[in-house]
Structure 1
Amino acid sequence: MNHQTPVFIITGGQGQCKTTFLHLVLGLIVGLNVRVRGVIAPGHVRDGRRSGFTLVDLATGEHEELCSIDPDPRCEAHGRFYFQPVGLAFGRRALAPPDPRGTDLMVIDEVGRFELQGVVWADQLDRLTAHPHPPMIWTVRRRLLDTVVERWNITNPVVVDVGTASAMATADAVMDAVWAWREAQPFSPITAAPVPGDRVAPPALFADAAAGAPRSTPVILRRCYGPEG
């Protein structure tokens, strides 16, 4: 199964909205009872330059600060960013190898130069790709794409370039992969799922907050992508 289950790689140049494209794709499948695990990392900008990232656990909707450019001796320094120990631990828990009976899709935003250097999410990626896994979506900067595919020996990559790709078509392809994964499992899939062959219907993107979330929290952080979100 590991050699047949696709890894969708959303790619583009720096600042080309890979995370935004991923958010749109997830928004298109969230109403289809897809059990999503993993992380999405919305970025922050200060004075026209990337200043840090927040990490969102897609299974729970919880979030933690991951890193910033502000020096902090308590943090791990990688490049110009200082990574919060709490944020790293939070992400590593979210990226633990999933139970295939409870996961249809695994998301990692993003796989980049730090992982290629063996830090941040590198160990989690090694574990995820070493065992049978559900379909996955990674975001990867275009110039690192070939290196990432080779490093993790991705035998069935589906490359989605944000410059030319359609979020609707990508969501449709992801759902096809999810259905193939479910049908290949020895246990029954979750109930109340769409009929195989149904096309993706776009819900209202950037919908209201999950119940109980602070209203001051950005919508992208309030959104929970699990089947109950």
Structure 2
Amino acid sequence: MAKKTEATVEDKLRELYNLQLIDSRIDEIRNVRGELPLEVKDLEDEVEGLNTRVVKLSAKLEELNESIKDKKNRIEESKSLIKKYTEQQKNVRNNREFNSLSKEIEFQELEMELAEKHIREFKAQIEQQNEVVNASKDRMSQRAEHLKHKKAELEEILKETEKEEQALMKMSQDHATTVEARLIKAYTRIRTSVRNGLAVVPIERGASGGSYFTIPPQVQVEIASRKKIITDEHSGRILVDAALAEEQVEAMEKVFAKL
């Protein structure tokens, strides 16, 4: 049985760069979506919040209307009592009874005035609350319409990219298993610590990709020899030579075209 050939440093570099190309492709797809998922979530929260507000305000309006009904009933009760006491005054036997009934009538009149005052206050609150409810409903309607468009936009993008993204994610996982654990750990650490997610970059114009720091000629020669894993001393990124990078880009583009 033939002994399995150990992967060379060049093989490892090619696999690492392939993994980087796959993950960068996934990043591109997610960048197309951009902030849309967050926008949709924020809009959903805003619409829900406005709806909750309208429900609470509507409940408050119902309470105010019930309070007005109660005060109107109280006024009717006072009117009935005033009528009753006025009739009783016609049959009193002395001034004490007459004065007592007069005080009852006066009290009911004050109760009516107070109830009418409360009714005016409740109506003013209702008018104010209605303005807030209408403004909230208008705002909710506008945001709901905006949400509808944003959801449609997001769904369209997801429809176009979801299949490719899932295929790429599986490809990324499969490629990760072909690279030794030590390198995958380093790759993941670098990738999560840099803004653009580039952990493996080619030499471009004598500097590491995306960097302005020049790499010494002797180090460039070492990188081109593909005999050991070399990292950029400034960014910590793993470096590959431009020729290897170009070859892998061309190879992976053919793979991506089939997705």
Tell me, yes or no, whether TM beats 0.5. no
Please give the TM-score of this superposition, normalised by the length of structure 2.
0.22
- Which structure: greater helix fraction? 2
- Which structure: greater strand fraction? 1
Please give the TM-score of this superposition, normalised by the length of structure 1.
0.24
